[in-house]
Structure 1
Amino acid sequence: MTDGFDRGAIILVPPIGMAMGIFEALSRALIERGRPIVSWELGDVGGDRATFYDHVSSYDEICGRIADALNALCRGPCSAVSLCNGASILAQIQRKALFEIDKSAIVGPYFHLANLDHNSIYEKTLMPLLAKAGEGSAAAAKMIHKILNSGQASISSRKDQVVKAHLVSPDSVLAYAQALVGYRQRDELDLIGELRGKVALFYCLDDEAVSHDYFLTIAEHLVEASRYIYRSGGHYAVFDDSELVADVVNFLIREEVYSG
C-alpha cells in the first residue's frame, strides 16, 4: 500500500476528532468486495490524554495533513465516504487534490453554515457548552463529560466507545472544543460546491446532529446529488445500520441503491 493506488481505492473521512472505528462495518463490506481502503489515525482521540490533539490543533491543520498524505498516496481516480463534518474535510481535500475523486457517499452531511439557524438536538444542547469549552472553560468541559458519560448516556457498547471516544475525559473534551473554534467561525456555504463527481447523500430522519431543514439546505446546493432518506438509524447509522451500509457499498461499487 505504501506504493500508492492507481485507481479504485475508497477514502474514509470521519468527523473531526473521531476514530476510524466508526467505519468498521463499512470497511469490512468494502474489503470483502475487493476494494482497497484508505484511512488514517492521528492518535487516540480519548483517554486521560488528548493524544489526537497533541498532533493536530485545528481544522485547517487536519485538512492540510490529510490532503498532503493523500496526494502522496493516490494517483488514479478514487471514491470517498464521509460522515458529519467529514463532508467539509472531504471538500477541502478536493480543493487540494492532485488526483480525481469521482464518487462520494456523504452520510449525515454537515457543513458549518453561519447564517442558518440549526435546531438539531446536538446543536441546542451540546454546542453552547462546547463553545464555552472552546474559550478555555474547564468547567464547561467537565459538564459535557458528565452529561455524556453518566446514566443512560454512559459508555456501554462498542458503538458508544467509538462515538464518544473524543469525549471520555474532560481534557479530551476541552481539546476537541478548542480544535473546533476556528472551524465554527467560518461559513462553508461555498465549500459545499467543492464536492465534485457523482455524489449521493444518505440521511436518517432521526439524525441527532443534523436537523432535516439543515440537511435540505445542504442538499439544495448539491442539485445533482442523489438523496437517500431513512426513517431511523440516527447520526451514526453508518456504524451498525446494515441497510444503510449496504446502500453505501452498492452506490460506491455498482451505483445501484435499493433502499431509502
Structure 2
Amino acid sequence: MSAKRSLVLTALAMVAFAANSVFCRLALREGAIDAASFTAVRLVSAAVMLGLILLLRDRQLKAMVRHGNHGSALALFVYAAGFSLAYVALATGTGALLLFGAVQATMIGVGLFQGERLAPVQWLGLISALSGLVALMLPGATAPPLTAAILMLVAGAAWGVYSLRGKGAADATAETAGNFLRALIWLLPLALFAWPGQWPQGLALVYAVLSGALASGAGYAIWYLALQGLASATAATVQLSVPVLAALAGVFWLDERLSLRLVLASLAILGGIALVIRRGSAR
C-alpha cells in the first residue's frame, strides 16, 4: 500500500472514531433516544453495514457466521453500552479522553502483567498519564460526573480487552462482523432492564444509525485497511488524535466549553501514553 493511500485511510478512520462521540452526544442531547436504544441501533446498524461489506467482498455472508466469538462479543457490548450510558452526562472531548486513555492503559497494563518491562522514560510517561487522569477526576466545577466517568473508563477497558483478544486475527473485518453479530444477543437483557417505553425517532435515530453504519461499521473496515500500511507503534500513537478531534468537534458543533482542566489533563494523559508507546517501539 502506498504511503499516500495509508495516510488518507488513517485520517478517515480517526475522523470516524471521533464521529462516534459526536453522533452519540448529538443523539442523546436531542432527548428523542435513550442510551440503551442508541446502543441497540448502533450495534444493529454496524452489523448490517459489516455484513454488506463482506457481501460485496466475498459475495456471501458465511464469514460473518464462521468468524468471531462470544467472549469478544461480550467485551464489544460492554464497550458500546458503557459508551452510550456515559455520554448522557459527559462532554464530547472529556468522554473521548477517558475512553482512549482507558483503552491504552488497559493494553499497557496487560503487557506489564504478562511480563513486559518498561524503560525509565516509559515509567515517566505512565505516571504522567495516571496523574492526568487523577487531575481530571478530582472534584471541582469542571470535573466530569463520577458515575459517567467510571462508565466511560469501563467502556475503554472493555474496548482494550476486545482489541487484545482480536490481535493477530487472520481476517479482521470478518472477525469484527462476527463479533458485532454475536453482540446482538446481549441486546435482549439490555432491553429487559432498560427499555425506555418509546421508540427512538427523528434526528436522534438518524445519528444512531450513522454512528453504527458509518462511524463504527465502515470506520472499522477502513481502519483495518489502513493498518496494512502502519507500524504497530504508529497505529497506537495515531489513535491519540481522536480525543483532540472529538473535543474540537464538541466545541464547534455542540457549543461545549473547552476547560483548562481538560486541556492540561489531555496533555498529561496523551503525552504520557505517547512516551510509553514511542519508547516501546524504539526498544
More helix per residue: 1 or 2?
2
More strand per residue: 1 or 2?
1
Q: Considering the TM-score relative to the shorter chain, is it more than 0.5?
A: no
Larger Rg: 2
Q: TM-score, normalised by structure 2?
A: 0.28
Q: Which structure is higher in RCO with an 8 Å CA cutoff and minimum separation 6?
A: 2
